[in-house]
Chains A and B, each alone.
Chain A
Amino acid sequence: MKHYLDLIKISAGQRRKENRMTRLCIVLAVFLVTVIFGMADMEMRAQRIQARKTDGSWHAAFQVEAEQGALLSARPEIRRAARYGTLNYHLKDGYLLQGTETGVCGFDLEFQEMIPDARVSEGTFPETDREAVVNENIRARLGTGVGDTVELTTPGGDTKQYLVTGIAENTALTAELDAFCIFLNVDGFLDLYGEEDSADQELLYYVEFRPFCRIQQAIDEISRQFALSPEQVRQNAKVLMLMFQSGDLYLMQLYLVAAVLAVLVVIAGVFMITASMNSQVAERTGFFGLLRCLGATRRQVIRFVRREALSLCRTAIPVGAASGVLVVWVLCGMLRLMSPGLFEGLPVFGVSWPGIAAGAVVGLITVLLAAGAPARRASRVSPLTAVSGNAGTVHAAKKTAGTRFFRIETALGIHHALGSRKNFFLVTGSFAFSIILFLAFSTAIDFMHHAITPLRPSAPDLYLLREDQTNEIPLGLAEELRGYPGVKRVFGRSHAEFPLEGEGQNVIVLSYDIQQFQWAEGALIEGSLQDAVDGKGVVSVYRDGNMSAPGSFVKILMGEQEQEVPVTGVLGDVPYNYGLDADTGQVTDLVICSEEMFQRLTGETGYAVLDVQLRRDATDAQVQEIRRAMEEACGSDVVYSDRRIRNQETRGASYSMSLFLYGFLAVIALIGFFNIINNIAMSVSARMREYGAMRAVGMSTAQVTRMVVSETMTCTVFGVLFGCMAGIPLNRLLFRWLVTSRWGDAWSVPGRELMVIVTVMAVSACLASAGPVKQVRKLPINLLTK
C-alpha cells in the first residue's frame, strides 16, 4: 500500500457484497444506454439498408445541361455522379414492346452503384446505343433472354431494335404494375429522342457526395452556381435524414426529439446511480468520519468516493455493455428472422461501436456525475460521527411520525419515506423519471403509427383485378388456386353499384367471404357482423359522417325494382378505397354483404377482384404458375399485380421500427422496475439496525412488513404523481412536435401508456417490499441489534 487511495482496491475485495447494488446500478445504466444507442444504431443501419434498397444511395439529383453536368461531376466533394432519364413513366405514352406499354430508363453504368434497382442481375450493362437490358417481367412474359433481340415501337411509329445484354430484377413498382421496362445506356436513351432538343433537359445528374461533406451546404452552392430553381434539385430525403444531413425542418425536430430522449436516458442513469451511491455513503458515514478524523481533507474524501465509484466501473461497464450488445444481437436476429430478404445485410452479431461507446462514456460520465453528490455528502461527514458512536445509525429525525391517522408501523413507514427531504426527492425523482421517460418515448409509438402503416392482415401478395369492375373473374378460379403450391389464402370481392332510392346517389355493394369478415371484426363500431355473414343484411361503412345505422334499411333501386336491405352493423374503416374519388373528393356510400347475399341481390356469380396470399416459402416459379392459371381463366382483360416486394418493404419498415420502439419502452419499464427494487432494498438495508431494535421491543414481522410496504408505497405514489405532473406535459409537447405538426392529430391524455407504466411501478413496488421483508424476517433479533 503506497497511497491512501489503494484502500479502495483493498476494500473492494472485502466489500464485494455491499458494492453489488451499486455495481448493478452501473451495469443497468450502461446496459440501458448501450441498448438504446445500439438499437438506434442498428435501426439506422437497418433503415439505411432498406433505404438504399428502396430509394438508392444517391444524395441529390440536379437537372442541369451537359456542360454544367461535366462541371458538376468534377466538383471535389462529389464522389460519383451519373446521368439518368426516363420515358413513359406512366405507361401511357405509347412506347410499346410487342404491343405492351414499356417504361424506358437510360443511365450511366455508375448509376447502378447508387440505385440497386438498376442493377443487372444477369448479363451485362449495354455498351452501345443498340443494346438494352430488359426487366424480369419481360423475360417471364415474353420469354426474352440474353442474346435475343427486342423491338421497341416509339409513339412516332418508329421501331428500334435492341440486342438484349442483360436481365434486371423487378422493382416494387414494376412488379406491382406488372410493367415492362428496359434499360438503355445514355447514348441509346438520347437516341430515342431523335431530333428533340430537350433530350438533355430530361436527364438528371444523380450524385453521391464524399463522406464528411456538408451536403446541404454543397447543394446550396451547386444550386447557386448553376442558377437552379428548387424544382430542378431533388434530394434523397430518407438517406440524408439517416446521415443527419437533412435540412428539413421536420427532421430537425425529429433530431431534437432524439436528443431530448438521449438526455433523458442519461438523467435516468444518473438518478439510478446517485440513489444507489447515496445509500452506500449513508451506510458508511462512520467510515468517512474516521477518514476525516485521521486527517483526510474533504477533497481527499471526495476523491476517494469518486475513485471508488470509478473502480466499480471497471467491471460494471464491460458487463453492462456486453449485455447491451447481447440484447441488440437478439433484436437484430429477430429482425432478420421476421424479414429475411430485407434485412439480410444486417449483421446478427454486429457490434454497435457507437452503442458501446455511448454506454461506456455515458456510464463513466454518469458515475462521475452521480458520485459527485454522495462524494460531497461523504466529505461533509463530521469527524465527530466516528468518535461519537453515532455512525451507522440513521439521521436524527426532525419531525415526529404522524400517528394520528395511521397505525404506528404505517406512520413510521411513511415517515421513513418522507423523513429526509433530499432522499425523498431523489428516490421519488428516480421513480418519476421512469414514468417521464416512458411517456416521452411513447409519443414515438404514435409517430410510428402515423409514419408507417403496418401491413394489414388482408394485404394480398398477388391480385387480379377487372379494370371495368365487372364480376367476371370466375368463382372456380379461387377454388382452383387454393390447390396450388405456395398459396396460403385466396379470397375475392364482387362489386356492384346501385342508385339509392330517392336520393340521387349511388351505393357500392361489396361481397366479403368469411375470412374477410373476420379481418373486419376489429373495425366494427356498432351492430353485428355475424348477421351480415349469415346473409341477414349488410354492414355499412362509416365515411365522412355518412353511415346507415344498424336497424335501418338501405333502399336500392335494381332497375325498376326497389329492394330494402337491412343494415346490421357499421364498420369504421375498410382497407379499400372503393367509392372515394381522390380528384373530386366525392364519396360514395359503401355497404358490404356476404357472397350469397351479393348473388341474391345481383344475380351475378364472380369476382371483380381476386386476392392471393402466398406462403413465406413460395418461389418465383410457383408464382408464375399461379399467374398462368389466372391468365388462362380470365384472359387479358384483367390487371395482374405482384405486391410481394412492396409488402416486404412495408412489413420490414414496420417490424424494425416496432421492435426498436417497443424494445425501448420495455427497457424503460425494466429500469423503473429495477429502480424501485434497488431503492427499497437499499433503504431497508440502511435501516436494518433500526428495524432490529423495533423487533427487539416487540414489533411483529407483520408490522415490519406493513412498515416497509407503507414506505415503498409512499415513494411510489409520490413518484407516480411527480412523474405524471412532468411526464404528461412533456408527452404533449413531444406529441405536438412529432405528430400534430405533421398530421394535425390532436393530443389526448395517454391513458393506456399511463396505465401500463403505473401497473409496472405498482407491481415493482409490491415485489420491492417482498425481498427486504423476507430478509428482516430471516434474521434473528439479536443479530439485528448488534
Chain B
Amino acid sequence: MEILKVENLSKVYGTGEARVEALKKVSFSMEKGQFGAVVGASGSGKSTLLNCIGGLDEADGGKVFLSGRDLFAMGENERTVFRRRNIGFIFQAFHLIPELDVEQNMIFPLLLDGKKPDQERVEELLEVLGLKDRRRHLPGQLSGGQQQRAAIGRALITHPALVLADEPTGNLDSRSSQDVMDLLCRASRHYQQTVLMITHNRNLTASADRVFQVMDGRLKELGGGQNETLS
C-alpha cells in the first residue's frame, strides 16, 4: 500500500545570482512499513526534501501525497492538523520541550489534538524505548540517546502514517546511534511504520529497505527498489 508519493517536487531559494535550485523535480514513492534512508553531502537538498515532504516548507512545484491526500492542496490550518495526525518528526537536536518530563513530551502532540492519551500505548512505548524509569525526568536530566528516544516516542505516539527523521543520530555517540537505529527499525517492522530518515552516515543505511541519494537537488535510489530519479 502506497503511503507516500512525491511527484516532480521542486524548490528554489533566492533570486538572480543567488538563485539555488535545492530540489529539481524529485519524484518517488514509499509503501507502508518501508524504512527509507536519504544520504547526500551537506547542502545537497536532503533537509529541504524532508521539510517539503513534512509540510514544514512550501514547495515551488510538484506534489506530495500522503495517504492519498495532496499536502499542498490543503490550507495552512488544515495542513497543520493533518501533519500532527499523520507525520511524526524526529530532529537531530531532539527539540524536546525542556519544561516537560519524558512522558509529557511524548503525549504533547495528542494534547494539541485535544485527545486523551491512551495510557496502555504510552506504557508500551516507554517500555520499548527503555524509558520507563525515566518517565518523570526532564530532558535536561537525560543523556542525548535518552532524549532522542523520548523524541522517537513523541513521533510515534499518534500512530503517524509517516515518520520523518532528520539526522536522528547526528548528535549521538555510536552506541546511542545504534540504539536509535534499532528503535526506528523496530518501529518500521513491529508497528508497520513508514520511516524516512536523512543521514550522512552510510553505515546506518544498512538497516534501511531503500536508500536514496540526493545530489545537486536530484534524487537517485541506490538500493532496494528501482531508480526513481526524474530530471
Counting chain A CB atoms within 10 Å of each CB, which of B80, B104, B113 scores highest?
B80
Measured CA separation A673–B81 after assembly (Å): 45
Residues on A with beta carbons closer than 8 Å to the beta carbon of B76 = 298
Stretch of A84-92, A271-279, A289-297, A418-426 on the interface side: A289-297
**A383, B100: Cβ atoms closer than 8 Å:** no
Complex interface bits, B114-154 against A, C-beta within 8 A gives 1, otherwise 0: 10100000000000000000000000000000000000001
Residues on A with beta carbons closer than 8 Å to the beta carbon of B100 = 1, 7, 10
**B99, A294: Cβ atoms closer than 8 Å:** no
**B51, A295: Cβ atoms closer than 8 Å:** no
**A295, B56: Cβ atoms closer than 8 Å:** no
Residues on B with beta carbons closer than 8 Å to the beta carbon of A389 = 93
Kindly state whether residue A300 has any CB partner on chain B within 8 Å.
Answer: yes
**A15, B111: Cβ atoms closer than 8 Å:** no
Within the complex, the shortest CB–CB distance from B165 to chain A, in Å, comes to 11
Q: CB within 8 Å of A: which of B58-88?
A: 76-77, 80-81, 83-85
Measured CA separation A107–B134 after assembly (Å): 88
A-B contact count (CB 8 A): 76
**A382, B154: Cβ atoms closer than 8 Å:** no
**B108, A4: Cβ atoms closer than 8 Å:** yes
- Measured CB to CB, the nearest residue on chain B to A10 is B99
Residues on B with beta carbons closer than 8 Å to the beta carbon of A299 = 77
Pick from B47, B99, B107: contact of A11, CB under 8 Å: B99
With A1-B111, A382-B56 known to touch, is A293 a contact of B95 (CB < 8 Å)? yes
**A294, B77: Cβ atoms closer than 8 Å:** no
Residues on B with beta carbons closer than 8 Å to the beta carbon of A7 = 97, 99-100, 104, 108
A contact patch SS? helix
Kindly state whether residue A616 has any CB partner on chain B within 8 Å.
Answer: no
Kindly state whether residue A452 has any CB partner on chain B within 8 Å.
Answer: no
Measured CA separation A387–B89 after assembly (Å): 10
- Measured CB to CB, the nearest residue on chain B to A386 is B95
Kindly state whether residue A384 has any CB partner on chain B within 8 Å.
Answer: yes
Pick from A2, A14, A293, A295: contact of B113, CB under 8 Å: A295
Pick from A295, A382, A384: contact of B112, CB under 8 Å: A295
Within the complex, the shortest CB–CB distance from B83 to chain A, in Å, comes to 5
Measured CA separation A698–B14 after assembly (Å): 32
Measured CA separation A646–B153 after assembly (Å): 82
Within the complex, the shortest CB–CB distance from A300 to chain B, in Å, comes to 6
Q: Could you tell me how many residues of chain A have their Cβ less than 8 Å away from some Cβ of chain B?
A: 30
Complex interface bits, A291-325 against B, C-beta within 8 A gives 1, otherwise 0: 11111111110000000000000000000000000
**A387, B112: Cβ atoms closer than 8 Å:** no
**B99, A387: Cβ atoms closer than 8 Å:** no
Counting chain B CB atoms within 10 Å of each CB, which of A290, A291, A384, A387 scores highest?
A387
Measured CA separation A164–B111 after assembly (Å): 85
Residues on A with beta carbons closer than 8 Å to the beta carbon of B166 = 387
**A387, B108: Cβ atoms closer than 8 Å:** no
Pick from A3, A383, A386, A388: contact of B111, CB under 8 Å: A3
Measured CA separation A294–B154 after assembly (Å): 9
- Measured CB to CB, the nearest residue on chain A to B86 is A295
Within the complex, the shortest CB–CB distance from A662 to chain B, in Å, comes to 46
Within the complex, the shortest CB–CB distance from A393 to chain B, in Å, comes to 14
Measured CA separation A293–B83 after assembly (Å): 8
Kindly state whether residue B57 has any CB partner on chain A within 8 Å.
Answer: yes
Residues on B with beta carbons closer than 8 Å to the beta carbon of A4 = 108, 111-112
Pick from B57, B83, B116: contact of A295, CB under 8 Å: B83
**B107, A1: Cβ atoms closer than 8 Å:** yes
Sample of 16 more A-B contacts, CB < 8 Å, known A384-B57, A387-B89: A4-B111, A4-B112, A7-B100, A11-B97, A14-B98, A15-B99, A292-B80, A293-B56, A294-B108, A295-B80, A295-B84, A295-B113, A298-B76, A382-B57, A383-B56, A387-B166
12 contacting pairs across A/B (C-beta < 8 A): A1-B107, A4-B111, A7-B97, A7-B104, A290-B95, A294-B108, A295-B83, A295-B85, A295-B113, A297-B81, A299-B77, A384-B57
